Structure 1
Amino acid sequence: MKEGDTVLGTLDDGGTLGLTPGTHTLTFEKQGYWSVTKTIDVQSDMSVSVEMYPSSAAFKLEDFPADITIPENTIYTLTFTLSPIDTSATYNTYLSLSGLSDIIEVRKDGSAISPENGKYYLGDISGPTQVSIKFKAGAVGQHGFTLTLTSNDAIMSQTYTTTKSVTYQVEPLPFSIQMPSEWQVGTNELRISESSGQSYLITAVLKDSQGNEVWSDSYAFSPYEAHTFSINVPSEGSYTLELQWNGQTAVYDITVNPAITLVTKTLTVSEGGEGVITLHFKNPSSNVQYYTIKVSGGFLPAEINQSISVAPLSEKDVSIAFAVPEDLAYDAYELNVQVLQGNATVFSDKVAVNIGDSGGFTLFGGGTSTSTWAYALLGLLVLGGLVFVLRRR
C-alpha cells in the first residue's frame, strides 16, 4: 500500500496499519491485479474494504442479480451494468455467450445489437454501460452459461478477457397446458388448468412467422380452474404461441403441416389413354372432414368434380382419373387441381402432364423414339447376316 510515492507497508486480508488523523489518498497494489486508489478520512480506528480485480480483466459487472429463477419456456431479460476497471483496457469490446440457447436479443444502453459471427460488438466502453440479454428459458431444472467480454488497449497491443459464470433455475409454470397432438388449419383446442391456487388473467396470442398477431383471447382464471381456448389457425406454416400472465410470457413454437399435399406433380400419358392424379389428405382433428376436389384446364373438355371425406385422426390417398383425348395439338399441358371445404378453397396446385406417343414399333419393353427404330434395324441386319452365314455353310 502506498500514499503518493511512499510505500506505507504490506497488508494481508484483515491486516492493520497506523495512519495519522486526516485525509489520506491510498493506492493498493497487488501483483497480477489492477491497482485501486481510495481516499479516506481517518479520525479514529476504522475499517476499509478494497475490492481488487485481475489485471487480465477489464470490467466489473455490477447490479448483477444474485439468484435467477425463471418459469419454464418463458422469456427472461438479464440486465446488469458494465463498468470499466480501467478505461485504457476497454476499447473494441465484444460480448460472447457460451452455453446459452434461444437468445432473442442483446441490447447496449437500450439499443439492440446484431450478432457478428456469434459475438456482439459493444464498441469502446468509457463509462458505466447497461447491457441486457433476453433469452427463452428451457425445461425445468438448473441451467448455466458463460458470459465473456474481450477488449483491447488503445493501440490493440493487448487483449483483456472478463468472464462470468451465470446459473439460473427453471421452475414449472403455475398452470398446466394440454396442446393438440398435431396442429391443423382451422380450430384447435388449447386447455389450460390453473395449478398454483391463484387467480390471474392469461392472454393467449398466436403470431405468424413475421411476428404479426393472427389470433388472441383472454380468460380470468380462478384457483384450480380449467378453461379451453379455441385457437383459429388461418393457414399452414410456422407460428409462435404466447401465454401472457402477471407480466411474464411463456412461448411455444408451433408448426402447422399441410393437411393436403399433391403426390402427383408430373405424369406422362398417351393420347387416347388415361391419367391419374393422386392427393394425400390428413385429418388430425376429432371430426370428419369433407372436401370437394376439382380438376380443370389443359385438354380436359369439362371440369372433374369428386367429393370425399376423411375420418377423424386418419390420413389417406385419393386418386382422380381422367381421359386423354386423341390427336392433341401439344406435347405438354397443365392441369389445375383445387380442393374446397364448403365454399372455401383450402388447397390449389398444378400438375404438369407430358403427352407420350402411343404408336410405333416397340422393342425390349417399350419406347417409340428414333433410337428404338435404329436398334430394331440393327437387329434385323444382324439377323440377316446370320442367315447369310448359315446359307453359305
Structure 2
Amino acid sequence: MTEIASIAGVRLASVAANIKPWNRDDLVLVALDPGAAVAATFTRNSFCAAPVTVAKEHLCSGGVRALLINAGNANAATGERGIADARACCAAVGRALQLPPEQVLPFSTGVIGEPLPLEKLLEAIPVAASRLAADGWSDAARAIMTTDTRPKLAQRSVTLDGETISVVGMAKGSGMIQPNMATMLAYVATDADIEPQLLQSLLRESVAASFNRITVDGDTSTNDAAVLIASGTAGPRLDKADDDNYRRLRDAIVQVHVELAQAIVRDGEGATKFVTVQVRGAASSDEAFKVAFAVGESPLVKTALYASDPNWGRLVMAVGNSGVEGLDPSRVNLFVDEVQLVAGGGLAPGYTEEAGQRVFARPEFTITVDLGRGGAAEHIWTCDLSRDYVAINAEYRS
C-alpha cells in the first residue's frame, strides 16, 4: 500500500505486551493533542466488554486525549475485575502522558472470558508512551489484528477552502462480524476542525453506510467500536451540516469507512468470495435490509457461494425466510450479476446452470433481489463460509 499520511495532532506507538504467545506487537497507544474532538459508537451486545463500559463513561466526560488498544484478550465477561483492569490501564496511560485517567479510552479485542494480563500491559504502556510518532499508522494496524490475515488501512484527501485535509483510518476484524458494529475496531482520524456534536452525527451516518452493512457470520461481538477523531489542526471550522466543505469532508470519511468495512469482509475468516447483496423493490428500507441480511447470513447460501454452486433454491429460501409480511413470491425476481435466475418466483426462462455457475465462480459478484413491492433499495456486503472458517474458529483458543 502507498505510504500512509500522518495526521497533525495524532501520534501512535505499537509495542509487544506479549498478551498471547506470539512474536509481534499487540498494544497500541494513540495520543491526541489538546483541542481534538472524538466521537465513538459501540457494540449493542448486552455482554459488552469492560473496556466498552469504561470507554463510554470516559467519552461522556469529554476532553479525550488518548486511546489504548490491545489485541489477544477481549476483557469481556470478566466482571468487576475486568472493569478495574480497564480503569487501571487508563490510569497507567494517564501517568505516562500526564493526563487524567478519564481522558483515556480503552479498547480490547481477542478471546472472551479470560482476565486481562494486567501486569504485562502496565509494563508496556510506558514503553509505548516513549515511542509515540505521527507515522505509526501502519504498525498500529498490524498490532491490533487478531485472526486478520492482513492489516486494514485507508486514506483520502479533500480540499476545503484551498487547504488539503487528510483522512486516515485503520480497522481490524475478520470473524464474529455482524451489523450494529461487529468484532471489529475502527479508528479514523482527520486533521479537519469539526464541532464535536457534528462529528458524532457524521460518525453515525458514516457507520450506517459502512460497518452496519457488513456480515461475515452473523455474530455481534462484545467489543466492537468505531472512533472518529478530528484533530482540528487544518482547514476552516465546520459546524453546519449544510455547508459544502462539510459535505466534501463527510464524503471522504464515508469512503474511508466503506473501504475499511469492505476490507473486513474480504478478509473474513477463510473467505474466498466477496458478494454484494442488493435488494430493490422493497416497501421500506428496513424491509430491504431484512431481506439482504437473510440472504447474506444464511449458512446454506454462504456454503453454496464457497462451492461456486448456483443453487438458487437456497436464495429464494433465504428471501422467504426473511420475515417480510405479505411477501408475494410471484413478484420476486432474482439476479446474479447479469444473469437472471428467478422470474416471477420461479426459474427464469432461458436460464442455464452453466450461466449461473460462471457468475458464482467469480471472486466478486452481486446478488440482486427485486421484491416487486415498492421503491426502497438497500445493499450489504457478505462473504462465503468455507472449511477454513470452521478450522480457524475451532482452533481459536489453541
Same fold (TM > 0.5): no
| TM-score, normalised with respect to structure 2 | 0.22
Greater helix proportion: 2
Larger CA Rg, structure 1 vs 2 = 1
Greater strand proportion: 1
| TM-score, normalised with respect to structure 1 | 0.22
